[in-house]
Chain A
Amino acid sequence: MNTNSQHSDEIRKELEGIAPTLSKIEKVNPFEVPDGYFENLPGLVSDRINEGSTAHRATVRTLTLRWAAVAASITLIAAFAYIFNNTSELNNNMDLAQLDIEEITEALLNEGAYTIEEEDLIELLVTKDEDPSAGSGSGSGSGSGQEKEETDTDEIIDYLIDGDIDLTTIIDELES
């Protein structure tokens, strides 16, 4: 018996012990999809990704023009200030006025002033703390530490089941 069918068999036996009627129901997928859906999906996803990068480029271009307009306004104000005041104290304003437009734009874009990247949120999910004892499936490891953890887990499960304590329901109730 290969590993997959062994695993399926474990799940079936587990269910028989908990819910005998349910375990007798044929396990089928009762949902359907429109004809050709899975054949067309990769193309749709690809199109959306390409649209997204086009939209992103367009956004950057629009923002670049906007920042360029801001920088140009600053330049004009500084120039007027210089003309009217004509004093040596204008150096700071002149420094501002002489800033390269592209440098201003680049600095603002580098600072991420206009957007929050979704991949940063995904990164948060990826780096979420993982329980090392939970990564190897059920009962595939060895050693006294792991055996103790499994014993503790079994005790917890027995306690929840014997006491008919539904942890998920409690969590949902607390969150609602």
Chain B
Amino acid sequence: MEEYSDQELLQQFGVESTRSNAFDLLVKKYQKRLYWHIRKLVVDHEDANDMLQNVWIKIWNGLAKFRSDAGLYTWMYRIATNECLTFLNKKRNKFLIPLVDVENQLSQSLEGDMYFSGDAIQLKLQKAILSLPEKQRIVFNMRYYDEMKYGEMSEVLGTSVGALKASYHHAAKKIETFISGD
């Protein structure tokens, strides 16, 4: 299947007769990357699925006003990240529990997750990642798994490149300590 550029998809989205098809192609082009970004943050597939669908609806609603000079993927990634942060905050507020306990719950749920196929070291790595403060966890995932440039991460998170480098450095060091322990 031919893959259109973002610019071509945006142009097609701007024309009413090709809007739905262009959006369908956009979903197919980016669904996996957005899903895995969300999934690694919220862990549970059902939660990730709900959130991803919400993210696509928000993208649909906002795409007509999207300024094409900005990076489309960065913009979508930012919507997905904010959706995750909102979800985790809601979860914390709903049960009146500190964030660290939410991360503990996510960590525990990994072991019984039928859609987790990692071995013991991968399980330990995921638990180490879940032990990080929320924003540091996002920074780590974006750099380690998604291999994003610091400049792109800065656009998504609205944080300076220097702070992101420091954050990633500390996250990696904490994970190193966690997985080297016992």
A residues neighboring B (CB under 8 Å): 7-8, 11, 15, 18-22, 25, 27-34, 37-38, 41-42, 44-46, 48-49, 52, 117-119, 122-123, 125-128, 130-131, 133-138, 152-154, 156-157, 160-161, 165-169, 171-172, 176
Contact of B94 with A by CB under 8 A: no
Contact A32 B115 (CB under 8 A): yes
**A138, B114: Cα distance in complex, Å:** 39
Could you count the A-B residue pairs with CB atoms below 8 Å apart for me: how many are there?
187
User: Using Cβ atoms and an 8 Å threshold, which residues of chain A touch B53?
Assistant: 41, 44-45, 48
Shortest distance from the beta carbon of A95 to any chain B beta carbon, whole Å: 38
> Interface of chain B, helix or strand or loop or mixed?
helix
| A30 partner, pick from B61, B123, B135, B166, beta carbons under 8 A | B123
Contact of B36 with A by CB under 8 A: yes
Contact A168 B115 (CB under 8 A): no
Interface size class of B (residues with CB under 8 A): 35 or more
| B27 partner, pick from A37, A41, A165, beta carbons under 8 A | A41
Contact of B51 with A by CB under 8 A: no
Shortest distance from the beta carbon of B26 to any chain A beta carbon, whole Å: 9
User: Using Cβ atoms and an 8 Å threshold, which residues of chain A touch B145?
Assistant: 27, 29
Please list the 4 inter-chain residue pairs (A to B) with the smallest Cβ-Cβ separation, ordered nearest first: A30-B118, A122-B62, A19-B176, A134-B154
Contact of B97 with A by CB under 8 A: no
Q: Which residue of B lies closest to A165 (CB)?
A: B166
User: Using Cβ atoms and an 8 Å threshold, which residues of chain B touch A126?
Assistant: 62, 65-67, 70, 75
